[in-house]
Amino acid sequence: MTSLSRRRFFGLAAAAWTLEQSQILRAMPSAESVFGKVKIRDVTTATIQMNYPAHLVKITTDQGPFGIGEAYHGPGILDNIADLKRHVIGQDPLQVDYLLTRMLEAASGHLGARSTAISGLETALWDLAGKILGVPVYVLLGGKFRDKLLVYHDTGAPRTADPKPWVEEALRSKDYGFRAMKFDLDWEGRGPGIAGKPYRYRREVWNRTITPEEMRQWVRILEEIIKALGPGIDIAVDCHWEYNTRDALRLAQAFEPLSLWFFEDPVPPENADALARLSAATRTPIATGENLDSRAQFRPFIEKQACDIIHPDPQRVGGLLETKRIADWADLYYLTMACHHMCTPVGAYAAAHVCAATRSFVALESDSIDLPWWKDLVVNDGGKFYPGGYLPLPVKPGFGIELNEEVCKRHLAPGAKWFGG
Beta bridge partners of 42: 60
CB of 239 to Mg ion, least distance (A): 9
Candidates 122, 169, 188, 238: give the one binding Mg ion (CB under 5 A).
238
CB atoms within 10 A of CB 215: 16
Instruction: Tell me the window of 67-75, 205-213, 238-246, 314-322 that interacts with Mg ion (CB under 5 A).
Output: 238-246
* Closest alpha carbon to 180 in 234, 238, 237, 260: 234
Rounded Cα gap, residues 71 and 350, in angstroms:
11
CB of 292 to Mg ion, least distance (A): 12
Q: Name the E strands within 265-418.
A: 286-288, 309-310, 336-339, 361-366, 390-392
Rounded Cα gap, residues 305 and 93, in angstroms:
36
The 152-171 site mask, x for binding Mg ion (CB under 5 A), equals: --------------------
Interface positions, 325-384, toward Mg ion (CB under 5 A): none
* Closest alpha carbon to 133 in 89, 90, 95: 95
Cβ closer to Mg ion: 42 or 184?
184
CB of 90 to Mg ion, least distance (A): 39
Instruction: Tell me the window of 41-49, 204-212, 235-243, 379-387 that interacts with Mg ion (CB under 5 A).
Output: 235-243
Rounded to the nearest angstrom, the gap between the alpha carbon of residue 281 and the centroid of all alpha carbons in its chain is 28
Rounded Cα gap, residues 380 and 170, in angstroms:
26
Cβ closer to Mg ion: 127 or 188?
188
How many residues in the shown chain lie near Mg ion by CB under 5 A? 1
CB of 265 to Mg ion, least distance (A): 6
Instruction: Tell me the window of 10-18, 193-201, 230-238, 292-300 that interacts with Mg ion (CB under 5 A).
Output: 230-238
Cβ closer to Mg ion: 138 or 218?
218
Instruction: Tell me the window of 34-42, 81-89, 130-138, 232-240 that interacts with Mg ion (CB under 5 A).
Output: 232-240
Q: What is the DSSP letter of 157?
A: P
Rounded Cα gap, residues 396 and 180, in angstroms:
27
Q: CA distances (Å), 87 to each of 98, 132, 322, in order?
A: 11, 20, 18
Cβ closer to Mg ion: 127 or 290?
290
Rounded Cα gap, residues 401 and 243, in angstroms:
41
Cβ closer to Mg ion: 365 or 376?
365
CB of 266 to Mg ion, least distance (A): 11
Contact 136, 130 (CB under 8 A): yes
CB of 264 to Mg ion, least distance (A): 5
* Closest alpha carbon to 132 in 198, 34, 220: 34
Instruction: Tell me the window of 5-13, 234-242, 245-253, 281-289 that interacts with Mg ion (CB under 5 A).
Output: 234-242
CB of 338 to Mg ion, least distance (A): 10
CB of 290 to Mg ion, least distance (A): 5
Cβ closer to Mg ion: 363 or 401?
363
Rg of the Cα trace of the chain? 23
Q: Which residues bind Mg ion (CB under 5 A)?
A: 238
